[in-house]
Amino acid sequence: MKNPHHDIPATLASALQEARRVVVFTGAGVSAESGIATFRDALTGLWSRFDAQALATPEAFRSHPDIVWGWYEWRRAQVLRAAPNAAHRAIAELERRVPELIVVTQNVDDLHERAGSAHVVHLHGSLHAPRCSSCGTPQPFPEGAPSEPEEGRRIAPPACARCGAPVRPGVVWFGESLPADAWNTAIRAAERCDLLLSIGTSALVYPAAELPQRALAAGAVVAQINPAATPLDARAHHNLRGAAADIVPELLA
């Protein structure tokens, strides 16, 4: 249901007009209206007995490779069926209007790219980049879209074409470091920007959640778009309560 009464505060509208360097920092909430479950809601069926944070770990993959690979294949099937929503499209449009804009996402889907965003940094990797869990060689997916694993089906991960070890999802699990180049690019952008928009993230996962704080410390305007309160509420200059697909397009108005 579109909420026509979301006023964009005049000070935010003018910050957006004047901004020369913008960072758009996104989490799973920006893909919610594309039908992609947010990280915590992605645990249904067999997986519901797991905590996402427990499943998104190297330990879980070592002990239950078929449950973890099945979970990611289910999520990948969702992404392949999904389309970018109005928020992704508005962010891509914003990039065309602002001298410099970079999307720094925690998401492992490719909806920003499919909506037309040209500068996207993935802090937590991608569902579309499986690699060998041992020799790291990138691996092609089994032909075509994954057979739709009904929720909770175990799927044995493929074996690496090079060394035979199990293939893993190309994502950053809890306890793993973020890709250095992605993280350095994100930190530099946060420290140079005039405006950072934090959209659809619970601001709980570190080090990603440091970015809005770095932007604030560097004197940028920080605005948050989220239907629920997060730890960032206390520090953001603007907190716009609501769904990304409703509010982000209004930033363009």
> Would you please indicate which residues are annotated as catalytic (active-site) residues?
124
Q: How far apart are CA 223 and CA 239, in angstroms?
A: 6
| 100/205 with CB nearer ligand BV8 | 205
Kindly tell me which residue out of 166, 200, 212, 249 binds ligand BV8, with binding defined by CB under 6 A. Answer: 200
C-alpha span between 201 and 204 (Å, rounded): 8
Task: Tell me: is residue 227 an annotated ligand-binding position.
Answer: yes
Contact status: 162 vs Zn ion (CB under 5 A): yes
Q: Both tokens of residue 15? A: 């910050």
Q: Is 150 exposed, middle or buried (0-12, 13-18, 19+ CB in 10 A)?
A: exposed
Which of 104, 160, 190, 248 touches Zn ion (CB under 5 A)? 160
Which of ligand BV8, Zn ion, none does residue 124 bind to, with CB < 5 to 8 Å depending on kind?
Answer: ligand BV8
Task: Report in angstroms the alpha-carbon separations of 72 from 30, 158, 218.
Answer: 19, 13, 37
**Judged by CB under 5 A, does residue 132 bind Zn ion?**
yes
Considering only residues 137-196, where is the footprint of ligand BV8 by CB under 6 A? 171-177
Q: Is residue 29 a contact residue for ligand BV8 (CB under 6 A)?
A: yes
Question: Is 228 labelled a binding residue?
Answer: yes
- What residues does 22 pair with on adjacent strands? 101, 195
Residue 30, token pair as written in the block? 């920006």
| Residues found near ligand BV8 in the complex (CB under 6 A) | 27-29, 32-33, 38-40, 53, 56, 106, 108, 124, 171-177, 200-202, 204-206, 226-228, 230, 243-244
